[in-house]
Amino acid sequence: MDDIDVRGPRFGAAVTAVVLAAALISGSAWLLAWQTFAFALGAAGGVGRSPYGWVFRRVVRPRLGPPTEFESPRPPQFAQSVGLVFALVGLAGFTLGPEWLGLAATGAALAAAFLNAVFGYCLGCEMYLLVRRVTVRAG
């Protein structure tokens, strides 16, 4: 797997944060369903296969200078899987109840997306690296 431009996942996190904030403010299960779909695509095929990765690659990146930093695609893909779990729990809370579960799970996903978008700190990526370190030490 080739390394990816670090700006792509941060762009995706910024869009994700906006979508999750709108879903949280409006209580819209439809917005959260869209984000769940976006997470599922990113988890299955990598961040480049998510809708936000496509927009970054086709629209945003051509307008930027060449990338100066790269990263492995595996941690961001794992982060998409973590986001997918939180989005699924949030969707269940919004559609089946209790509503507080939807709010809490969506809020947690929003916090993680915000950290990545604004500070470049990817919680899901850090989880991936921690699991890898533990697995390497155990094996």
pLDDT digits (tens, 9 = 90+) for 79-132: 999 999 999 999 999 999 999 999 999 999 999 999 999 999 999 999 999 999
Spatial contact of 14 and 117, defined as CB atoms under 8 Å apart: yes
15 has a pLDDT exceeding 90: yes
Over residues 64-83, mean pLDDT:
96
Range of the domain at 107: 4-138
Q: How many domains does the chain have?
A: 1
Model confidence at 53, pLDDT cuts 50, 70, 90, reads: very high
User: Residue 54 burial (CB < 10 Å; 0-12/13-18/19+)?
Assistant: middle
139 has a pLDDT exceeding 90: no
The reported pLDDT for the residue numbered 34 is 98
Digit-coded pLDDT (tens) for 22-40: 999 999 999 999 999 999 9
The reported pLDDT for the residue numbered 136 is 85
b/e 121-133 (16+ beta carbons within 10 angstroms → b): ebbbbebbeeeee
d(CA 75, CA 20): 21
Tell me the backbone φ, ψ of residue 69, rounded to 5 degrees: -130, 140
